[in-house]
Amino acid sequence: MKKRMLIAGTILTAAILMGGCGQNEGAKTQQESTGQVMEAKAPKTQKENTEKNDVSKEENSASKLTEEEVKSIAFQDAGVEESQVTRIRVHQEYDDGRDKYEVDFYVDNREYDYDIDSNTGEILSKDSEIEDDFMNQDASGTQPTDGQVISKEKALEIVLARVEGAGEENVRMELEKEDKYWKYEGEILYNQREYEFELNGETGEILEWSEEGMND
């Protein structure tokens, strides 16, 4: 009888030990399986986030209007044809929490200034004014006498010689008297660059000259 009980006890102990090992193996297998799933999902999630960011960037870029589109909006609002326009400048910037285009152009002696939303095409602000280019007298009404100042054609020749490719249509300048001598003062807008100058109206000497990119 004692022998049977001993054998039964031994079998029971072995069963308990085997059951414990099975549970440990099952837990280990489940943990390894879970780990494998987590490792497999991590790269996929990172890839999905990257693809999502790329799509967002593409959509944001695609939403912006082109320079040609905003010029068309400004011309239509001003009631002018592109063939009438001279000395145009288009500059994009971020201001007051929104992207916008600044569009400046001339039609004859009238200057137009527009601010247009880069995404919607909404005209945020606009302005226009008459400018007396190539003045023949200063603010006091004093007129230069013949031979006292160089001609505007000569002044144009001097300043355009410093900007290869620019033409008369790219220049805006005025003649005025200052400190008892005449001078031409103005700017050249060409190839996305702006040049500002002062020219001695009597000798043709360039007194001041500066340049910068329109997007600076």
In a domain, residue 201? The reply is yes
Choose one of 12, 45, 62: the last residue of a domain.
62
Alpha carbons 21 and 53: distance in angstroms, whole number: 48
Residue 146 resides in a domain: no
The CATH number assigned to the domain holding 124 equals: 3.10.450.40
Share the mean pLDDT of the chain: 76
Note whether residue 17 is domain-resident.
Answer: yes
Residues 180, 164 within the same domain: yes
Report how far residue 155's alpha carbon sits from residue 173's, in angstroms, rounded to the nearest whole number: 9
Residue 83 resides in a domain? yes
Same domain for 23 and 72: no
Q: How confident is the model at residue 136, as a pLDDT?
A: 45
On whether both 161 and 200 belong to a single domain, the answer is: yes
8 Å CB contact between 199 and 159: yes
- Residue 26 pLDDT grade (very low, low, confident, very high; cuts 50, 70, 90): low
- Residue with the bigger pLDDT between 129 and 216: it is 129
Domain finish residue from 81, 96, 130: 130
Number of domains composing the chain: 3
Indicate whether 95 belongs to any domain: yes
Q: What is the pLDDT of residues 60-109, one digit of tens each?
A: 555 589 999 999 999 999 999 999 988 888 888 888 788 999 998 888 87
Query: Which residue range is the domain that position 96 belongs to?
Result: 67-130
| pLDDT tens by residue, 103-160 | 988 888 788 999 999 999 999 999 988 875 444 444 445 666 656 899 999 999 999 9
Nearest Cα neighbor of 204 from 143, 141, 162, 142 is: 162
pLDDT, position 81: 93
Give the residue with greater pLDDT, 182 vs 37: 182
